[in-house]
Amino acid sequence: MRTQVVIVGAGPAGLLLSHLLAMSGIDSVVLETRSREYVERRIRAGVLEQPTVELLREVGLGERMDREGLPHEGISLRFDGADHRIDFAALTGRSITVYGQQEVVKDLIAARTAAGGDLRFEVTDVALHDLDSDAPRVTFRDADGVRQELRCDAVAGCDGFRGVSRGSIPAGVLTTYERSYPFAWLGILAETPPSHDELIYCYHEHGFALHSMRSPQVTRLYLQVPPDERIEDWSDARIWDELHVRLAADGFALTEGPLLEKSITPMRSFVVEPMRHGRLFLAGDAAHIVPPTGAKGMNLAIADVRHLSRALTAWLREGRTEPIDGYGQACLRRIWRAQHFSWWMTSMLHRFPDADAFQHQIQLSQLRYTATSPAAATSLAENYVGLPFD
The catalytic residue among 99, 181, 203, 384 is 384
Is the pLDDT score of 390 beyond 90? no
Predicted pLDDT at 213: 93
The catalytic residue among 19, 196, 211, 296 is 296
User: H helices then E strands: how many in the chain?
Assistant: 13, 20
Query: What average pLDDT does the segment 121-127 reach?
Result: 98
Q: Is 350 one of the annotated active-site residues of the chain? A: no
Give the number of other Cβ atoms within 10 Å of residue 318's Cβ.
9
Query: What average pLDDT does the segment 111-136 reach?
Result: 97
Predicted pLDDT at 187: 97
The catalytic residue among 99, 277, 292, 307 is 292
Query: What's the rounded Cα separation, in Å, for the pair 361 and 369?
Result: 12
Predicted pLDDT at 86: 98
SS3 content of the chain, % helix, strand, coil (to 5): 40, 30, 35
Q: Which residues contact 12 (CB under 8 A, 6 or more apart)?
A: 101, 104, 105, 108, 284, 298, 301, 302
Q: Is 327 one of the annotated active-site residues of the chain? A: no
DSSP symbol at 2: B
Q: Residue 123: is it exposed, middle or buried by C-beta count within 10 angstroms (0-12/13-18/19+)?
A: buried
Percent of the chain residues past pLDDT 90, beyond the cut: 97
Q: Is 292 one of the annotated active-site residues of the chain? A: yes
> Which strands make up the sheet holding 124-129, listed edge to edge?
124-129, 137-141, 147-151
Residue 314: phi, psi to the nearest 5? -60, -40
Query: What's the rounded Cα separation, in Å, for the pair 146 and 303?
Result: 35
Query: What's the rounded Cα separation, in Å, for the pair 349 and 78?
Result: 10
Is the pLDDT score of 170 beyond 90? yes
pLDDT (tens digit per residue) in 82-116: 999 999 999 999 999 999 999 999 999 999 999 99
pTM for the model stands at 0.96
Predicted pLDDT at 369: 98
Predicted pLDDT at 42: 85
pLDDT (tens digit per residue) in 235-280: 999 999 999 999 999 999 999 999 999 999 999 999 999 999 999 9
Confidence of residue 128 (pLDDT cuts 50, 70, 90): very high
Q: Is the peptide bond before 274 cis (omega within 30 degrees of 0)?
A: yes
The dihedral sign for the CA sequence 66, 70, 74, 75:
negative
Q: Which residues contact 237 (CB under 8 A, 6 or more apart)?
A: none
Find the distance separating the first CA and the last CA of the chain, reported in whole Å: 36
The dihedral sign for the CA sequence 7, 8, 13, 16:
positive
Predicted pLDDT at 43: 78
Complete DSSP assignment for 99-167: --HHHHHHHHHHHHHHTT-EEE-S-EEEEEE-TTSSS-EEEEE-TTS-EEEEE-SEEEE-S-TTSHHHH
Percent of the chain residues past pLDDT 70, beyond the cut: 100
The catalytic residue among 72, 196, 204, 288 is 72
The catalytic residue among 12, 99, 196, 201 is 201
Question: Whole-number mean pLDDT of the chain?
Answer: 97
The more confident residue out of 279 and 43 is 279
Query: What average pLDDT does the segment 314-333 reach?
Result: 97
Q: Which domains does the chain have, with CATH numbers?
A: 5-72+97-177+268-344 (3.50.50.60), 179-267+350-385 (3.30.9.10)
